[in-house]
Chain A
């Protein structure tokens, strides 16, 4: 069975080709079947392969399909590598991918570009599978850019609104910056080690470089740059919130479950390099910490349901980076898996909410949806519970593992741990803020639209009473994901063979108690603040006064704009580039050659004057010429 591993990306690729070559005039049902079926097949195959692989107790399995290039000593092959880590990623991608495809057949039912949507989605899953299965960094780079491309195509799916196009381009260019730094990292690795095969790098690196040597620091920093770009971490995170312009299923699949975790996978896969460069590993930890705090605060002030979830994704990936930074590789992957479950659940649920409320995104214009949208409500509750790591939910086990590992970090353990706990507290507040504001309190769906920021020009006529649009196709994935979010904590992630077994963390019960209490207190505060319950009157007054006060208002706006990063980048890079481009529209070099031509023309006009037509002048020139000639002859 293992030798069929090549088929995993082949099925979605076949789906993509089928949908593209029929140029979108397949009937909707068949297009849906092809789209979902291909992912289903690869999910099934993934399960069979995982069972056989785990059962066989093999360390790893490499399957060469064909030699891609062979130039001198650079011979990357189109070959797939299977080990524990890959199995986990395979199952997440194909599993959740399948559920989301199922969901989107319902969500995109009335969209004209139905076939086009599924072709892009299939291409995305194929690229992601190639990324995960690649056994050398060049093939990984192929998958890496492939997913970047698909995210561009899908964010800008509703192309007739230029804003979507802008968001898509922004996403692609920002991730491209990260990809370029990763490419440079690849060149450096090849130049130093002579190969780009991941396993060879992992064995050669420790032999050739001592710990903390310049080259390994540079290489791992460059790879970190790539990871930061793709996983929307601090320097390059401005693109993810704007990526919400795409249809909601893709936000679930790409911007929550799979693509954004590619950075985490890359660092986990090349963990030997990072172990050799402790300074860079620490940098990873602090990048994670800073991002999770920044995102947490920003999420507090957001109004759009999808942007809240987007910032929460950035924050949760910050946790994964924190785990990687402190060396808790398996904890990071474990959190990656659980996060995929509950974040996909939250996004799909928000999709149902948006569809039912006719593309309403602003949570303050919802309220009281508990009764009207039961499925969405319960999904949100379970999802938010897992997100805030309430006890016995999957989030609890994975986040605690990370925080405990962070505590044991030799130098900055306590600082990292405190930041993590503060983050958990913020997470609790903003996730349950969303739940209380959207589903509890009075119904605000009818009042006049303060400002409509919905993204596509579909019919947004005002409507009668709200009723939930969830057929079986949309409800089933929600239920499965809800179950997984609750039960996910008990799945043991089979990555010990990859990262080596780590001993259990043992911390004082006080620490354990504190970590359990923090989310619960957060939920309570959020309840008091946002559910309009009478007991929270005092707190609500305090919040209103802070919001009105000058300083507080400014702080709110600062958080709302994602700590002003967008404006900063716009000012630093975008505007100067456009100015530079406009500055020299007509190529400077071209004017230089124009100058030469002008010179020749002036020369012509000057010398033509000598042709006066007067005989006397010609005679003078004759004699003058003779004098000149003799002068040169005798003296020069």
Chain B
């Protein structure tokens, strides 16, 4: 019942936030915050009381409930939480709080409707992470799109219409392809077992012969790869990110990308073992191309949010690499990259949003040498850029190292070429720091040509450094990253039973 309660809180919280706007314009963000704090308590409670004893062997599912929904097609409201989805829930709720923190000062007109959409997107995402019935999974998969579209379309920046439309059509069409694939699976279950079923466990024993299994698996892969985003299907992300409001970007990068990766781990590979085995080299090549190509593109960008968006694609390439290595290292690596990337990219987007909020531009060319004026913000930016390039001792390194380790076991060439990505990562991360925070002080509305000491007392353009709310968010994320870097065992132990179950169920079909 916990999962249903969690989703209910978010739905009701969203509606309340919208309604409360009529009373006072500052009320919606408070209601949203309260709703998020409640859900955080819920999730943490779920973690604590299940975590210690959950390590009992075989006890992989913490929570597993099933109610009948559409009898005609054998569709059930089946929700389950295990180590992997629990971690994802924690990330979702945590980043939800960060998103509210980011939107605290930024969203001023129609806040009620904004927090309504924010919380409904989160509810959709919580649904995706816990659904174990493929139809329910698809249902939540689409539900989280509409509010996200509205967030980008209403509160976005200059050409938000194009970006929102592109985001929506991309994910929707790939969703339809996913739906056909799910339908095929369900129909073959009907042919082989006499009745329709969308149950995750029952569908695992559906046997599809060679070529057809590859096609259905491709349907799943395209559906998830667009969301991941993997190389050829990634071009919606930079537009969506550069136009979305900061809170939208935090949600998009931190949480929505993870649903794609989660889908791959939970559905795309376990349901089609042989097809996944043959497809693994192709998927790893796509991952490697994604890593290098998007790293190169990131280097060429002047818009800071587009740059971070491309880096996200590059990082998610490591996740794809890890998943299709399909051994314990690759999977755990993919998981850690997902968690760490969630925090790093959200923080970077909030920083970019902060800069845009202060200087009303995202163009890196127009601002430099901010270290003098904004020491705290620059220090945070430095910290998160270094985390992004995979500095050991922080979360990203653990994810990337394990993914590459796993990938190396499966396919030497892919791992070695992907390792080059580490070099590119350092090139563009430090480039951002150099371009924006080092060098002579210069901002759009205040440029000192001679590069001398900035006029301290120049009133009209004195940008304010981090506010307390922002500082709180950033330090929380920084602590999270250090925790993941220094003692990742908490997360790895939590996900370990799921991963070994998935590997066992496949019988190490993959190399």
Contacts and interface: CB of A to CB of B under 8 A. Distances in A.
B419 A581 contact: no
Nearest to B239: A590
A187 interface: yes
Interface in B171-196: none
Given A180-B420, A587-B235, A68 B488 contact: yes
B392 A191 contact: no
Interface string A507-533: 000000000000000000000000000
Contacts of B232: 589
B422 A71 contact: no
Given A67-B489, A162-B434, 5 more contacts: A68-B487, A146-B391, A159-B439, A162-B438, A589-B235
27 contacts: A23-B376, A66-B489, A67-B489, A69-B398, A69-B488, A69-B489, A71-B402, A72-B327, A72-B329, A138-B392, A141-B392, A142-B397, A145-B392, A146-B391, A149-B391, A152-B430, A159-B369, A160-B439, A160-B451, A172-B426, A173-B423, A173-B427, A177-B423, A190-B408, A191-B409, A581-B299, A590-B238
A636 interface: no
B437 A159 contact: yes
Interface in B255-303: 296-297, 299-301
Contacts of B391: 145-146, 149
Interface string B370-397: 0110011001000000100001110001
Contact of A590 (B235, B392, B422): B235
Nearest to B439: A162
A37 interface: no
B404 interface: yes
A74 B402 CA distance: 9
Nearest 8 interchain pairs by C-beta: A142-B392, A581-B300, A187-B408, A72-B328, A159-B438, A590-B235, A165-B438, A165-B434
Contacts of A592: 235
Contacts of B401: 138, 183
A156 B427 contact: no
A451 interface: no
Contacts of A577: 296, 299
Contacts of A179: 422
A589 B415 contact: no
Contacts, number: 133
A69 B438 contact: no
B5 interface: no
Interface string A123-162: 0000000000000001001101110010010001001101
Contacts of B441: 160
B393 A24 contact: no
Size category of the binding interface on chain B: 35 or more
A160 B369 contact: yes
A364 to B, nearest CB: 29
Contact of A71 (B332, B369, B426): B332
B208 interface: no
B201 interface: no
Contact of B492 (A70, A138, A582, A585): A70
A188 interface: yes
A590 to B, nearest CB: 4
Q: Which of A24, A71, A146, A187 has the most chain B CB atoms inside 10 A of its CB?
A: A71
Contacts of B488: 68-69
B111 interface: no
A190 B328 CA distance: 14
Nearest to B372: A160
B102 to A, nearest CB: 22
A201 B231 CA distance: 38
Nearest to B233: A589
Given A23-B376, A159-B438, A159-B439, A188 B408 contact: yes
Contact of B430 (A78, A144, A172): A172
A184 B419 contact: yes
A173 B489 contact: no
B48 interface: no
Given A71-B402, A146-B392, A176-B423, A169 B409 contact: no
A66 B427 CA distance: 33
Q: Which of A146, A173, A179, A587 has the most chain B CB atoms inside 10 A of its CB?
A: A587
Contact of A23 (B238, B369, B375, B486): B375
Interface string B401-426: 11011001100000110011011001
A593 interface: yes
A207 interface: no
B145 to A, nearest CB: 18
A468 B439 CA distance: 32
B174 to A, nearest CB: 12
Contacts of A176: 422-423, 426
B343 to A, nearest CB: 18
Nearest to A574: B427
Contacts of B402: 69, 71, 74
B409 A71 contact: no
Contacts of A172: 426, 430
